[in-house]
Amino acid sequence: MDSSKNNGRIMIIGAGGVATVAAHKCAQVPEVFKEIMVASRTLSKCESIKKDIKDRYGREIHIAQVDADNVPELTRLIESYRPFLVLNLALPYQDLHIMEACLATGVHYIDTANYEPPDEAHFEYSWQWAYNDRFREKGIMAVLGSGFDPGVTNVFAAYAQRHLFDEIHYLDILDCNAGDHGHPFATNFNPEINIREVTQTVRHWQEGRWLKTPPIIEDGSIHFSFDYPVVGKRESYLLYHEELESLVLNIKGLKRARFWMTFSENYLNHLKVLKNVGMTRIDEVDFEGTKIVPIKFLKALLPEPSSLGMRYKGKTVIGNVMTGIKDGRTITRYIYNVCDHEDAFRETGTQAIAYTTGVPAMIGAMMVFTGLWQGAGVFNIEQLEPDGFMDVLNRYGLPWQVVECPPLPDNF
Ligand code: NDP
């Protein structure tokens, strides 16, 4: 199909917490998203999104069952629905398959998490960046990482680079979930992906090199107490996060980039025990003659992240502290958003982690549908024009602020 023709149709793949929010948000903007399809592995989850959207907004959406790892099957579905853009809100394992189907059909692509092979707890952009030439030749866009982090945090950095600084030298991304879901242990997004991410060796970037430090649950992990707006002091742990990989290439003049995430002692204790007893293993083990992957079994036992919203109270505070030069002066600025779990649940039936990811996913799609983002090839979100995205964040549920703050220490 001719991808330059915007027919107002979006296809969302996945029907978890993030996809639910994105579908709701798209349904709220009928002037941009004239038709919506939610396609996922389990049809009943698509049906419940469809019903909720009908009840809340009176809009009919299309649904379909699809295995996104089956490229011919997905290609046929895309050919039959003919969307302008595919919003991939399934899991990182599906990224390359969905990109293949988009290439086969000439349809734009957006996701919120970079590719990760199922049998290796390792994620990086190289696999998706390798698609750049094919997307360019096909004349279509792939926008990588349009969630909150990656996503909004990248756009915050691009906006700061353009408007607040002549040069940014130090970038610290701080992700705080000060909410309480009332369960002894649960993860806020897909448990398998979440646990694989937080149990890995930590890396941050300094003067052109990646420095390694122990995982958050091991002795020697680096953490400090940051005084977050609205929610106060929270212990924040140095963690490797995927947006660092592209930001250190695209934000010019950086000397250091770090990512921090808050964890409660209770969460860390549970995770330590689960790791020590082997429940976070990603390889197959024999259980009474059947092969099982422990982390997949654990996922089946834990609460569905999309179900957490019902009891979730409190707020998330996510943003960037940046130190650099403006008009010859060294300044530090903090750009952040505060999102309330209960407000997110009232609006979309899901909690703030899904909300803060699903809203920017919709906004990324809106940027392409409205032509504010154009191009051919594979793009990280900070390579695209930030002002339109920043403006729409304020209007669609994720308002942000810029404040002065002291620079973060070099060492802890
Ligand atoms: P969920 O596990 O709740 O949902 C994933 C959905 O994808 C499920 O509906 C699942 O189907 C579906 N799916 C899985 N495999 C396939 C397949 N082969 N074909 C079709 N559908 C499939 O995850 P979340 O909603 O919590 O997260 C969605 C994405 O958002 C993830 O990639 C996650 O990493 C990312 N994320 C990004 C963040 C950011 O800030 N950038 C923050 C949080 C999440 P089924 O229902 O059958 O299991």
How high is the pLDDT of residue 122? 82
Whether pLDDT at 307 is above 60: yes
Ligand 1 mutation pick, 189, 320, 398, max ligand atoms within 8 A of CB: 189
Nearest residue to 230 (alpha-carbon basis) of 182, 178, 265, 181: 178
Q: Please, where in the chain does CATH 3.40.50.720 lie?
A: 9-147+355-394
CATH code 3.30.360.10 for 152-349+399-404: yes
The model's confidence at residue 119, banded by pLDDT at 50, 70 and 90, is: confident
Q: Please, where in the chain does CATH 3.30.360.10 lie?
A: 152-349+399-404
What's this model's pTM, rounded to 2 decimal places? Answer: 0.96
The model's confidence at residue 152, banded by pLDDT at 50, 70 and 90, is: very high
Q: Is the CB of 113 under 6 A from ligand 1?
A: yes
DSSP 310: G
Q: Is the CB of 69 under 6 A from ligand 1?
A: yes
The model's confidence at residue 153, banded by pLDDT at 50, 70 and 90, is: very high
- pLDDT tens digits, residue range 247-302? 999 999 999 999 999 999 999 999 999 999 999 999 999 999 999 999 999 999 99
- pLDDT tens digits, residue range 345-382? 999 999 999 999 999 999 999 999 999 999 999 999 99
Q: Is the CB of 94 under 6 A from ligand 1?
A: yes
Q: What is the rounded distance in angstroms from the CA atom of residue 271 to the CA atom of residue 261?
A: 15
Q: Give 355's contacts (C-beta < 8 A, 6+ positions apart).
A: 21, 339, 344, 347, 348, 397
CATH class of 9-147+355-394: alpha beta
